[in-house]
A and B are shown apart, each in its own frame.
Chain A
């Protein structure tokens, strides 16, 4: 039982990373109908960047802050230099395009930081033990980041006028313009949010899960699996799905074999896509002719 609970805690903390990445993916998908394969690379980029800054002698909070801001800017830059350059960007082309971005980012990270995985120092705090289950303070930081940043994005998109206008801009550019948001601005804001959320996931998870140049792709794809559970539009379903995915992976690693852990997400992805491509919470859309 203790094992089970311990695995659950580990799964929740890993799931919170997927959840943040899923939030980032949905943030751009709802506004731009872009599936951003590079979403997970934002996390590794922020992780590796903050590690270098800490190594250079900067205090941890400053290093993290700089990393978050830089990756947010990088995401905006990617939007301006790459995404916005393609006319009639379909979702399918966006996948190929951001796959190129992801490959490029990974190669740059490989050249700068090398092939070794690195670790950010743990955030301040004391580890807890509850009924034999130990919870590391870093895991609380990760869940906290999900609540604050992920929850913040969710509230922004669902409750604020600006957020609603952003969501509308994909479906009704004219209506969004009337509210005062041009599609270009909406897209930039969405990518800034995606960059920030991805970077947050990267820095809070680095002390436990390492940052390695090639790690972002898999992380982002698992975020995508979670986002698909929410039909690529529901933040809430995606967050719940991400936490569940983390827990299931953790059980598979603990009870079956750790090597198979990464395959679980893709089995879930394929099964969910085949059974309910519109996600688990929405009714499938009627096709209009």
Chain B
């Protein structure tokens, strides 16, 4: 095992994917592709050719659905744009073959970029229906436009030779198109594992949390949409080449349904599944076209649709994970039977419990990475400032863009109205760098609303939020996050599709660089590896190292909360906002967290925390702000706030003396 994997690690700056299973899979597929033309019957060959052509748009769609979490019901539109552009460039403009082919792909991507820019602001089902509309518009346009040959379409162009070889039979064409599918597959697989791919799958778990770590969801989605159209366009180019006539049929809605079916059968988001799905759907289509007229005499036309409809319904009801899920389950069962206890955690951990989660490889964020110690770059950020007390955690790096005491966050006149209700009313305060500020108040006082406006989760009705001198109110959360403002959540926002280290790794997002292109080419292994090491070190320092390989959703509540803190710290923030970080923690965990927060403050980090636990805040914070009914009623050092009569009345009822007694009691308890 180690040989192959180490080799993969060393070649991680190369093109090929860095996972043994993938390499074997690609190799097997390549062998199958090489021998199919020698063995398949002519009708089977036809199916094989079209499943290769349609695998390309299906791969694109599976990236869009799996990564971007968006469903397109108009993928045929981009397929058609690629096919028409290719055919028109060949037939009307007599362009060289390569120009025509590249033109087809570029046209599809340009069209996607243009419509994607406005449409990808839409959510879920609205986008699906908008793309459906787009599909119809393209179909009607090519049918009604003289330039595209109306209902007859474009024909009468030859097949350009490839390197001097005329592609004049199905076998040669199959060998011509298959390498593109293989390369497309590898690029797509690389992308799903890349920084951008991980960011997008985090968005599917929790868009808010991902954006709060600096992920610009919208920009990534536009890019994936455009990329997905590029795959569709390439499929269209090959279609036009092979069929030698492009008519409005290629843009018809049932082509989009066919592509959707391929992805659903294969398993949402599984690139391998898309290729398998393409083959199955083509096989189903051919089979039904022969079978149904045999059963029902006189049946003509699109009779294969009955199979599409049935299969689509059955897969969603009975097998929502598609083939991918079947294979995954079967594989896990085989491994269990063979008693092969996974390759355990890739890093030795103190108590060795990590392999509990190692069986389900696909959910592990970094499956197959060996335990080579990190390059020095990985640990440089982790000054071991552990003090004598063994219980104190080591401190991750924080960024200190300005001197302690200077204002890092200035909130001025912040107001939020919901209809007639004023949730937050004209709140102003300044947080100096290197301090801990506690924001307290009774239930419904507007603490979390205030918090959400500062972090960009909601836009204020009026007022400004300045972070490091820049106004960020009303901007998306990633704007503040990129500048070093990060947060945790009262209602945990865990990325449940990945493991614990995968969650903390996402915290490193803003420290990374690699984009979609580098991700697809696999040119970011070193960067990812470094960030993974940092993430593991942070987990170790917070005593979560032993669960690094567990699915994040399986952790107990308190540890999930600690994991969120780790995730936020991994971003090396300048300002950390914690929304009720103590809630749900055990006494021991609270102590650990309080110690950590003090140490972070001493290292220069600014912290704002919203808390219910008044005693904790009073003990921890340098300054305390009190909200009541959306109004800031006190702001100062803990001592003066504690004795402020307005606070006592607001916080603990109308009777000031009784309130004071209760407050004392609370403190004594802690």
| A interface residue numbers (CB < 8 A to B) | 35, 82, 85-86, 90-97, 99-108, 110-111, 114-115, 217-218, 221, 224-225, 228, 257, 259-260, 262-263, 265-267, 269-270, 273-274, 277, 286-287, 289
Contact = CB atoms under 8 A, between A and B. Distances in A.
Contact of B316 (A97, A104, A265): A97
Given A100-B316, A266-B136, A95 B122 contact: no
A263 B137 contact: yes
Given A110-B301, A111-B306, A92 B122 contact: no
Interface in B124-144: 124-126, 128-130, 132-134, 136-137, 140-141, 143-144
A259 to B, nearest CB: 4
Contacts of A86: 316-317, 320
A270 B130 contact: yes
13 contacts: A93-B316, A95-B125, A97-B317, A104-B306, A106-B305, A107-B307, A110-B302, A259-B144, A260-B144, A263-B141, A265-B133, A286-B458, A289-B457
A289 B208 contact: yes
B134 A266 contact: yes
A273 B143 CA distance: 25
Nearest to B69: A92
Contacts of A108: 306
Given A111-B303, A263-B136, A95 B128 contact: yes
A94 B119 CA distance: 20
Interface in B62-76: 71, 73
B129 A95 contact: yes
Contacts of A228: 129
Nearest to A87: B320
Given A82-B317, A110-B305, A267-B137, A286 B125 contact: no
A90 B124 contact: yes
Interface stretch (B292-300, B431-439, B559-567, B608-616): B292-300
B133 A270 contact: yes
A99 B260 contact: yes
A280 to B, nearest CB: 14
B309 interface: yes
A221 B133 CA distance: 8
Contacts of A273: 119, 122, 126, 129-130
B330 to A, nearest CB: 23
B354 interface: no
Nearest to B133: A266
B175 interface: no
A100 B126 CA distance: 18
Interface of B, secondary structure class, is helix
- Which interface residue of B73, B122, B143, B306 has the most chain A CB atoms within 10 A? B306
Interface in B101-133: 115, 118-119, 121-126, 128-130, 132-133
A99 to B, nearest CB: 6
B128 A105 contact: no
Given A110-B302, A225-B133, 15 more contacts: A90-B124, A95-B125, A96-B71, A99-B312, A105-B309, A106-B305, A111-B299, A257-B144, A263-B140, A266-B132, A266-B134, A270-B119, A270-B130, A286-B458, A289-B457
A97 B300 contact: no
B651 interface: no
A94 B302 CA distance: 24
Q: Looking at A99, A228, A262, A287, which has the most chain B CB atoms within 10 Å of its CB?
A: A99
A101 B313 contact: yes
Nearest to A103: B309
B310 interface: yes
Contacts of A263: 136-137, 140-141
A97 B129 CA distance: 14
A289 B459 CA distance: 11
A180 B128 CA distance: 35
Contacts of B299: 110-111
Among B129, B132, B317, chain A packs the most CB atoms within 10 A around the CB of B129
B136 A107 contact: no
Nearest to A271: B118
Contacts of A260: 140, 144
Contacts of A225: 133
B264 interface: yes
Nearest to B315: A100
B15 interface: no
B411 interface: no
Contacts of A274: 118-119, 121-122, 130
Contacts of B163: none
Given A104-B310, A107-B309, A96 B129 contact: no
Given A262-B136, A289-B458, A107 B73 contact: no
A277 B257 CA distance: 24
A274 B208 CA distance: 21
A217 B253 contact: yes
Interface in B384-437: 418
B308 interface: yes
Closest 3 CB pairs of A and B: A104-B309, A100-B312, A266-B133
B595 interface: no
